[in-house]
Structure 1
């Protein structure tokens, strides 16, 4: 039996693929760039909805990419064995529902629509499914939130520190991979949308301060007071959403995650390796 992974070259895939291979099942992963096969792991070059050949004897399908294209492919794919399906969404499905920025509200709606479409596609095939909604992801140097900040600060030796009392709950990509592995084995997680945050909630300002302390080079702190951020929101409307959320809590309740899957994510203790791309990406 084969495990099919969409988004295998993502930050979660970086930790999941080796763990899947250790389980002994053949793994087939999709990537938009050519990659070398490894023991127990083969790659398909392409992206949804094209270049995905029919795969026989699939025991599970895992997706870390956009939900709607995956659900569209899943709905029409020949899946006679009704494989287990696990996909990631985002806590933005909830935290951006009431954003003052229309584009962010649209993202929230798209995520929820994608979750609904995935459930419908799985129902058509009789597949058990689980959706994980992670908070801010870090840990593999592939995220587009904290890693760009860390790298820019390392180059310029200046680290902006925006004021913000809203709570954050960054989750390490390796802990999401652990949750995926657990969901494969826990039947009671089927049909559930599970929130997945890190093991610690901390004010946004403290989160940025910890990223700064994790860097391998010294940087000069550049405090950005609340009044300056409010002015930036008025001058640059595109910043209204991100700046406004600095005072909002963007967290997840891990109660069901821990109860069903036994996963307890780590607290936010980043080091310099968190901001370095994996060797396969750097090459």
Structure 2
């Protein structure tokens, strides 16, 4: 994001009133968002079923608890980083505790997996779409200002289940097989940029009652993305191009090292999974980094 953004400066004035509540604070985006809130002089409170021991004020609660409102603090602004399908059930409790501004993360998987041959992936896409609709309907009925953010491929070096999993495979096997040419285009986005974007969206009047697709700073093919992962490990790229049918067989052998792997993953290496972040750039200054991971 823009280095001159005031939210990057410790103690900078903010349009958000303390405290704010962060749901799913132990997620990839969570630790960056908590740090940015604190740096901007905003008191963060974080909700988790298993609160860690640190200096943040943690609320020990579950979004599905029917008595959730009793555990919540009085807050106006809520950032939801948990899977969005968990959010609708918690909205009445949040509203009862003063919710007036909501920024919730969904995913572009809502669109990329809706026609997947894998039933489990289609179910995820439907859950995302249904939850977004429920959030929008509740907020409209209750006078809550909402923003939904849909990231593309999220990464944090050494922590995510996509880019970092590729790095793990490269470390183990020294070579990375691809299905076909790996020509499908991608826009990997760093979790820290998403944390900054969420803060900016929360304070931008133009972002109220809108949903945005948030992408990384550049478009690159799956193969080039893989080459950047090699470079981030300090290695020369060693990529093995396989026919799709052979890759599917290899994926079966790799499942112990790649939990959740499906045949559809190989097929998607040839698919363009790109989105337009122009509205986010115009409405709240979205300006993410290019893809140069360092492990």
Query: Aligned partners of 1:18, 1:190: CA distance in 2, in Å?
Result: 24
C-alpha contact 1:158 1:222 (8 A) present in aligned 2: yes
Query: Aligned partners of 2:149, 2:286: CA distance in 1, in Å?
Result: 12
Q: Which residue of 2 aligns with 1:142?
A: 159
CA RMSD, 1 decimal: 2.3
Query: Aligned partners of 2:152, 2:237: CA distance in 1, in Å?
Result: 28
- TM-score w.r.t. structure 2 length? 0.83
C-alpha change, 1:14 and 1:80, in structure 2 (3 Å) is closer
Q: 2:122 aligns with which of 92, 96, 105?
A: 105
Query: Aligned partners of 2:173, 2:61: CA distance in 1, in Å?
Result: 36
1:78-100 per-position Cα deviation (integer Å, ceiling 9, x unaligned): 43534210111101111112222
Q: Which residue of 2 aligns with 1:279?
A: none
C-alpha change, 1:219 and 1:44, in structure 2 (3 Å) is farther
Q: 1:231 aligns with which of 234, 246, 252?
A: 246
- The count of corresponding residues between Structure 1 and Structure 2 is 267
Query: Aligned partners of 1:223, 1:254: CA distance in 2, in Å?
Result: 32
C-alpha contact 1:157 1:219 (8 A) present in aligned 2: no
Q: Which residue of 1 aligns with 2:284?
A: 261
Query: Aligned partners of 2:72, 2:49: CA distance in 1, in Å?
Result: 18
Report 1:72-87 matches (<5 A): 72-79=89-96, 81-87=98-104
Report 1:40-79 matches (<5 A): 41-50=56-65, 52=68, 53-79=70-96
Query: Aligned partners of 1:24, 1:235: CA distance in 2, in Å?
Result: 51
Query: Aligned partners of 2:237, 2:97: CA distance in 1, in Å?
Result: 59
C-alpha contact 1:197 1:253 (8 A) present in aligned 2: yes
- TM-score w.r.t. structure 1 length? 0.86
Between stretches 91-100 and 118-127, larger displacement belongs to 118-127
Q: Which residue of 2 aligns with 1:11?
A: 28
Q: Which runs of 5+ in 1 are unaligned?
A: 273-283
What SS does the corresponding residue of 1:10 show, helix, strand or coil? coil
Q: Are 1:119 and 2:141 an aligned pair?
A: no
What SS does the corresponding residue of 1:247 show, helix, strand or coil? coil
Q: Which runs of 5+ in 2 are unaligned?
A: 1-17, 253-260
Q: 2:202 aligns with which of 184, 196, 213?
A: 184
Query: Aligned partners of 1:30, 1:56: CA distance in 2, in Å?
Result: 10
